[in-house]
Amino acid sequence: MFEYTKTVLKKVSFDSVLFCKELEKALQRLLPYEIEELKIFINSLVQQHPELNQCLIYLKA
> pLDDT of 3-37, one tens digit each?
999 999 999 999 999 999 999 999 999 999 999 99
Tell me how many domains the chain contains: 1
Distance from C-alpha of 38 to C-alpha of 59, rounded to nearest angstrom:
9
The string of pLDDT tens digits covering residues 51-61 is: 999 999 988 85
Q: Which domain holds residue 43?
A: 2-60
| 3-state secondary structure (DSSP) of residue 9 | helix
**pLDDT number for residue 61:** 58
Amino acid found at 1? M
Alpha helices in the chain (DSSP H): 2-11, 16-29, 32-48, 57-60
